[in-house]
């Protein structure tokens, strides 16, 4: 088999795989109307910003900015849920404090 024919076949397979991935990812987010939630799900599924932008027909910059906002929100939420060292010390019974 010639190298050109093999490259052509590999290219065709790659295109078909890309189509399958796009269809599966669209199915994953089909019932979600809010773009931010769609981006969150696709990112958590392992897609890169450029891939997410391609799937959602938007720009990779829009996706990157949204992901940045999502990360900031997650950090803020985690910091509220996790008690600080001072809060942990205050919560200790008097017998355990130094």
What confidence tens digit (pLDDT) does each residue in 12-41 have? 999 999 889 888 888 889 899 999 999 999
Q: What is the pLDDT of residue 85?
A: 66
Q: What is the pLDDT of residue 65?
A: 97
pTM: 0.66
CB-CB contact of 51 with 72 (8 Å): no
Q: What is the pLDDT of residue 88?
A: 63
User: In the chain, what are the domain boundaries?
Assistant: 3-88
pLDDT of 93 > 80? The answer is: no
């Amino acid at each position: 088999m010639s190298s050109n024919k093999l490259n052509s076949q590999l290219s065709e397979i790659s295109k078909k795989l890309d189509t399958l991935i796009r269809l599966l990812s669209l199915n994953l987010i089909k019932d979600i109307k809010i773009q931010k939630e769609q981006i969150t799900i696709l990112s958590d599924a392992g897609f890169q910003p450029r891939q997410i932008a391609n799937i959602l027909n938007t720009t990779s910059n829009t996706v990157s900015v949204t992901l940045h906002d999502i990360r900031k929100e997650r950090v803020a939420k985690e910091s509220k849920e996790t008690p600080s060292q001072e809060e942990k010390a205050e919560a200790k019974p008097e017998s355990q404090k130094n």
